[in-house]
Structures are given as structure tokens and as C-alpha cells.
Amino acid sequence: MSYPNSDGPVDTVADTVDDHAPVLVVKNLTTTFATPRGPLTAVDDVSFTLRRGTALGIVGESGSGKSVTARSVMRLLPKSNVTTTGEVSINGIDMMALGPKELRAMWGPEVAMVFQDPLGSLNPVMRIGDQVAEGLRIHHNVSRKEARAAALQLLRQVGIPSPQTRLDEYPHQLSGGMRQRVVIAIALSCGPKLLIADEPTTALDVTVQAQILDLLSDQQTERHMPLVLITHDLGVVAGRTQEVIVMYAGRIMERARTPVLFRDMKMPYTEALFRSIPKVEYPSHTRLAIIPGRPPTMVEPIRGCRFAPRCRYAQDRCLEEEPELTPAVDRDHVYRCFYPVGTPEGEQALEINRSNGRLTPEGELIGVS
């Protein structure tokens, strides 16, 4: 899979980012599940702002809290075993204050989501046309005929071949990529002012993945629609987003404008994710670098930096203290690390770990798998 250059034209857009009004404001968002093993804090004090017309990437390994962040923002989590605190506002509307009826009115026209399991979110016994038209009929009170015409137009926009025929087909008659396009058409049907796409290309082959991501980016640009793009693959956000949040164990570890992150990442965790990006020049059988070790369970209390057991740079201090989010030279760049990548402190930490036998001479962790 090829990735667009992170130093592409989005840099220019990012330069105007401050002129854009905030669409999504998240402050101190914390979501905790009651589990048989105790409270599990899946999202821990997360704050960020998304501005009009821009795309924000949320990147992290499996279990880092990306989907729970999205579902907390949407207010889609069941009340029974979940506590969510903090602030979420979408275009000035306080999501935390809304009741079920008001939330249903938000989902579609104000904010829409492409789910991580999009195929599962299609109704297998409902025709494609009816599924795409459903939101329009609910929110815009249009006739069946008008909704069908709008559904046809949407299927065209998302690149479905023979859209007229597809209107009367069922999900099982479509390929995975086509079904994914239908899911995106449904999300776009009410003209959302904000779109959240949670791993929108899981389970698709690499060529189709790139097409779907390009479709989302095109729609985002054409509609001047803010987009939150969630992925475990740092490569996906390059060239497709203006800003990136890197999450680990429920926390924001680093946040920066996308080109800045790729040029000047400070977090060892971001560096580890970067090392695991598939590179086109590698032969297909090449084993990708994976990050050794496992993330914490988030049930047991965590002391020190959450990434310490897996970090090539970790020193004694990291086991005792958790770093605060610290601003870097770039105005929008923050990170949490005592020994940042590419700094004299970071280089010294690597040297110490090489000499004390924690790292191989090539700088790989020893004894963590």
C-alpha cells in the first residue's frame, strides 16, 4: 500500500487551521467501564478540538481507546456499565446535556459515524436504496420518491457502479468494498456537519482500502466537512489529515499537525508506530516491526509512564512519574515524555540502555516480546 507524502498540500490547509471555527470540542473526556475485574478507564482525560473543514487522525494500537473515544463523543455507549465525564460539544451543542430524543436528532444531520464493523451495520434484509434513503426520510421529511432519487445520487457520489440497479439489491449481493461505500453513503445522506470514521477500511484488501480512504478524503474536501479518521496505522493519516492525536492506554500521548508529527515526532510510542508502517519498497513477505510487549490492562493502577515497559528510551524516572503533556517548539505540538526522540536527552537514554544491556547494539529491546 502506498502512502501519500506527509509533506503534501495539506500543510497549506493546516496553516489556515486557526482561522476555522471549532466544530468538535472535547475537554477532559474520561470513560470508565465497570468490569468484573474492576473499573477499566478506557479513555483517560482526553482533550482536543477539531476545526471546520479539517481532518483529524486518531491513531493507536488495538485497545488504546480510539473507538471508546468516538462512541463517548457520539454518546453511543450504554448507560448501564459506563461512566463518562468531561465535556463534548459539537457546533456549540453540549452533547453531555442531551436526552435520547435530542441525541437521535443529532445523529445524521449534525454528526454521523462510519463504524469499525461497517458490514455489520447494514441491515441484511433491507434493500440498499431503502437503507440509504432512511435517514433522509426521518430527518428531512421527504417523499419516498425524493428520497430514492437522493439515494441514487449518493450512490453515484460514492462511486458505486450501476447505482440504479444497486438500489434494489441487498447487502450480500455487493462486494466488501461496495458495501463499505454504501455505509459511507448512509453516513453522508443527511449532510452531516461532522463525520467520524472508525477504522473504515478494516477487512478490506489494500487496493480497496486506499480507494475508500481517498473517497472519504474527497468527500471531506468537497463538502468542507470536518472528519475524524480513526486508525491503528499511522501511514493512513499521512496526507489525509491536518492534525494527528496518538493514543495509548486511554491517554493522548502526542498531538501535532500531521506534517510536524512525521517530521519531528517526540514520543517513543509514535516512533514505534512509525516503525510499524508497511513500506511499499519492502517485499511483500517482509516481517513488519511490531511493538514488543503489550499495553497495560487499564484495570490495575498504572504508576509512571504507561509506555515504560515497552519503551526503548525508558529510564528509572519513567517508572515513578507520569509525564505531563508538554508543548514542543511548534505551537500545536504536545507530547508526554521525559526523554523525547531526537533530543540529546533521548539519545543519551538510548545510549544508557545500550550500555546496561536493555537494548541490542541496533537499539532493539531485549527481553520484551
Ligand X SMILES: Nc1ncnc2c1ncn2[C@@H]1O[C@H](COP(=O)(O)OP(=O)(O)OP(=O)(O)O)[C@@H](O)[C@H]1O
Q: Please pick, from the candidates 33, 45, 109, 345, the single residue that binds ligand X as defined by CB under 6 A.
A: 33
Scored b (16 or more CB within 10 A) or e, 176-201 reads: ebbbbbbbbbbbbbbebbbbbbbbbb
Which helix (H) or strand (E) segment holds residue 48: the answer is strand 38-51
Q: Please pick, from the candidates 57, 108, 259, 323, the single residue that binds ligand SF4 as defined by CB under 6 A.
A: 323
107 binding partner (options ligand SF4, Mg ion, ligand X, none; Cβ < 5 to 8 Å by kind): none
| Cβ distance to ligand SF4 smaller for residue 4 or 296 | 296
68 binding partner (options ligand SF4, Mg ion, ligand X, none; Cβ < 5 to 8 Å by kind): ligand X
**Given the rule CB under 6 A, which of 79-87, 226-234, 239-247, 263-271 is the region that contacts ligand SF4?**
263-271
Give the number of C-alpha atoms closer than 13 A to the C-alpha of residue 104, restricted to the C-beta side.
5
Whole-angstrom Cα distance, residue 223 to residue 185? 13
Whole-angstrom Cα distance, residue 134 to residue 335? 43
Give the number of C-alpha atoms closer than 13 A to the C-alpha of residue 181, restricted to the C-beta side.
27
Q: x/- string (CB under 6 A) for ligand X, residues 96-135? A: --------------------x-------------------
Whole-angstrom Cα distance, residue 6 to residue 251? 24
| Cβ distance to ligand SF4 smaller for residue 132 or 305 | 305
| Cβ distance to Mg ion smaller for residue 47 or 202 | 202
**Is residue 66 a contact point for ligand X (CB under 6 A)?**
yes
| Cβ distance to Mg ion smaller for residue 53 or 295 | 295
Please say whether the dihedral angle defined by the alpha carbons of residues 185, 218, 75 and 176, taken in this order, is positive or negative: positive
| Cβ distance to ligand SF4 smaller for residue 19 or 324 | 324
Directed axis angle between helix 176-188 and helix 144-157, to 10°?
120
Q: What are phi and psi of 111, to 5 degrees?
A: -145, 135
Q: Please pick, from the candidates 32, 67, 241, 258, the single residue that binds ligand X as defined by CB under 6 A.
A: 67
42 binding partner (options ligand SF4, ligand X, Mg ion, none; Cβ < 5 to 8 Å by kind): ligand X
Helix-then-strand count for the chain, H and E:
13, 12
**Is residue 67 a contact point for Mg ion (CB under 5 A)?**
yes
Whole-angstrom Cα distance, residue 55 to residue 217? 8
Residue in the block written with cell 490495575: 300
| Cβ distance to ligand X smaller for residue 36 or 283 | 36
Residue 313 DSSP label? T
| Cβ distance to Mg ion smaller for residue 117 or 168 | 117
**Given the rule CB under 6 A, which of 23-31, 125-133, 282-290, 308-316 is the region that contacts ligand SF4?**
308-316
Q: Please pick, from the candidates 95, 150, 197, 308, the single residue that binds ligand SF4 as defined by CB under 6 A.
A: 308
90 binding partner (options ligand SF4, Mg ion, ligand X, none; Cβ < 5 to 8 Å by kind): none
Which helix (H) or strand (E) segment holds residue 130: the answer is helix 128-140
Whole-angstrom Cα distance, residue 258 to residue 3? 13
323 binding partner (options Mg ion, ligand X, ligand SF4, none; Cβ < 5 to 8 Å by kind): ligand SF4
List of residues 6+ apart from 263 with CB closer than 8 A: 6, 7
**Given the rule CB under 6 A, which of 35-43, 151-159, 211-219, 346-354 is the region that contacts ligand X?**
35-43
25 binding partner (options ligand X, ligand SF4, Mg ion, none; Cβ < 5 to 8 Å by kind): none
**Is residue 194 a contact point for ligand SF4 (CB under 6 A)?**
no
**Is residue 128 a contact point for ligand SF4 (CB under 6 A)?**
no
Catalog residues that contact ligand X under the rule CB under 6 A: 33, 35, 40, 42, 60, 62-68, 116, 232, 298
